[in-house]
């Protein structure tokens, strides 16, 4: 039985970062980056370009380096499927300040909208739970999404949310692709000299 994916991804991302305070956010390439930028650019955002499969590990590194800050990774199902080993590494490191959110539309959106493995039943929340995340869930409605937002305000991680979203296309809103600028901006935001 196929799951129903109805939530609007852009609205989901807006909800996730609406009351972000000091939250640091890593966005996977493509749609995740477009949606985070559309929700409002911020010096604590890092848009990952050209490194598919790296978002979760970038988030882990940032969470370990900045243990006093909450870190949110927002990526897609296609990117996370390329990085299944990151679940185990995060589970071993157990950073309490890291939350990984996968926007799951059941497709490889950046390569032509082929159905992804999650459409065939691969359970990313189950993989996160088996990898010793403190909490892992699949979200398909607003009430559950607000539960994830509440968890972002605590340090009870590592946490994982697979959010079932519609595969409907959205207008692209493009943040800068200047990696040096993005890196330096986040470093300045954290108080480092650049």
Q: pLDDT tens digits for 125-154? A: 999 999 999 999 999 999 999 999 999 888
Model confidence, pTM: 0.92
Residues 194 and 140: their CA atoms lie apart, in Å, by: 41
Question: What does the buried/exposed string (b/e) look like for 94-122 if buried means 16 or more CB atoms within 10 Å of the residue's CB?
Answer: ebebbbbbbbbbbbbbeeeeeebebbeee
C-alpha Rg value of the chain to the nearest Å: 15
Rounded mean pLDDT, 3-30: 90
Taking the mean position of all CA atoms in its chain, how far away is CA 63?
13
Residue 25, SS3? strand
pLDDT band at 1 (very low <50, low <70, confident <90, very high): very low
pLDDT above 50 for 103: yes
Choose between 119 and 78: higher pLDDT.
Answer: 78
pLDDT of residue 112: 53
Residues 135 and 22: their CA atoms lie apart, in Å, by: 22
The domain 9-189 having CATH identifier 3.30.70.1140: the answer here is: no
Report yes or no: 69 and 77 within 8 Å, Cβ to Cβ: no
**Sequence-ordered list of residues with C-beta below 8 angstroms from that of 181, at least 6 positions apart, any chain:** none
Choose between 104 and 132: higher pLDDT.
Answer: 132
pLDDT of residue 109: 55
């Amino acid at each position: 039985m196929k799951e129903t994916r109805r939530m609007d991804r852009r609205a989901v991302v807006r909800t996730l970062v609406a009351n972000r305070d000091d939250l640091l956010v890593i966005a996977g390439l493509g749609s995740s980056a477009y949606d985070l930028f559309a929700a409002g650019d911020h010096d604590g955002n890092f848009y990952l370009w050209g490194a598919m499969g790296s978002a979760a590990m970038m988030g882990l590194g940032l969470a370990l380096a900045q243990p006093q800050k909450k870190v949110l990774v927002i990526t897609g199902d296609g990117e996370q499927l390329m990085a299944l080993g990151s679940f185990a590494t995060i589970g071993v490191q157990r950073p309490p300040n890291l939350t990984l959110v996968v926007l799951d539309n059941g497709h490889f959106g950046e390569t032509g909208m082929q159905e992804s493995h999650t459409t065939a039943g691969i359970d990313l929340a189950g993989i996160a739970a088996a990898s010793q995340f403190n909490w892992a869930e699949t979200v398909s409605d607003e009430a559950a999404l607000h539960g994830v937002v509440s968890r972002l305000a605590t340090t009870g991680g590592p946490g994982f949310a697979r959010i079932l979203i519609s595969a409907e296309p959205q207008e692209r809103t493009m943040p800068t692709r200047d990696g040096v600028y993005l890196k330096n901006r986040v470093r300045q935001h954290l108080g480092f000299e650049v």
